Amino acid sequence: MRQLIAGNWKMFGLTQEAAAIATPLLAAGPLGRDLLVCPPATQIAAVARILAGSPVAIGGQDCHTEVQGAHTGDISAAMLRDAGASHVILGHSERRQNHGETDELVQAKVRAAVAAGLTPIVCVGESDAERQAGWETGVVGKQLKGSLPDDFAGIIAYEPLWAIGTGRTATEGDVAAMHRFIRETLARRFGAAGESISILYGGSVRPANAASLLAVPHVGGALVGGASLNAGQFLEIARA
């Protein structure tokens, strides 16, 4: 299975900035890994135009559970797809924390994304306090159980909260243990299908640590925040 390097731009990227990140990706050449960029919703269509005909895929960062309706300010999976997206990040910890998203809501969004033809990337991860208490697998296990529908076909991203945007990366040992736990959990629930679900690692992935993190067993790629806002760094990670 090819590894996926996904860039989560979060709430960054006016028109010129988005073009400056996306345009150099056209000249990336063969990488041996797949690339995905997830710009803010306002830039999806523009980035899709820039990257048209290239192998770089485009994703959203969230979607609503419904196809359309009276939901001021929300964006449906069908709208993301219509703008040029093939993927969508769901249940990112910033949405779970800042918007009170529950596992149940994330699961409803996963169903909506799949119904619209998008590949969901479902984020899970424990807080610092939860890890200190030794609850990390319990927390992640509960998130997987609640956030994934029984017919799940998509991607998982393990992002320990204490590693996001902090420069504090999980050790290879932490990542290996958690990715093995997630793989076993998926295999128990989904059987053979669970073996082929990609599990990305996210949290302060940088060019300097990418090669070692991407070499850990059961790591199917990276979900990159800060470093994905710089095309050079993003491509260095993809080549690591």
Residues forming the active site: 92, 159
Query: What would the x/- binding string for ligand PGA be over residues 198 to 217, using CB under 6 A?
Result: ----xxxx------------
The region of 96-104, 111-119, 178-186, 219-227 touching ligand PGA under the rule CB under 6 A is 219-227
Give the residue with the Cβ less far from ligand PGA, 68 or 97: 97
Using CB under 6 A as the binding rule, the residues of this chain from 6 to 65 that contact ligand PGA are 8
Total residues contacting ligand PGA by CB under 6 A comes to 13
Using CB under 6 A as the binding rule, the residues of this chain from 119 to 178 that contact ligand PGA are 159, 164-165
Q: With CA atoms as reference, report the closest residue to 222 among 205, 239, 197.
A: 205
Distance between CA atoms of 37 and 47, rounded to whole angstroms? 9
For the CB of residue 7, give the shortest distance to ligand PGA in the complex, in Å.
Answer: 9
The only residue of 226, 231, 233, 237 in contact with ligand PGA, by rule CB under 6 A: 226
For the CB of residue 24, give the shortest distance to ligand PGA in the complex, in Å.
Answer: 19
For the CB of residue 166, give the shortest distance to ligand PGA in the complex, in Å.
Answer: 7
Binding site for ligand PGA (CB under 6 A): 8, 159, 164-165, 202-205, 223-227
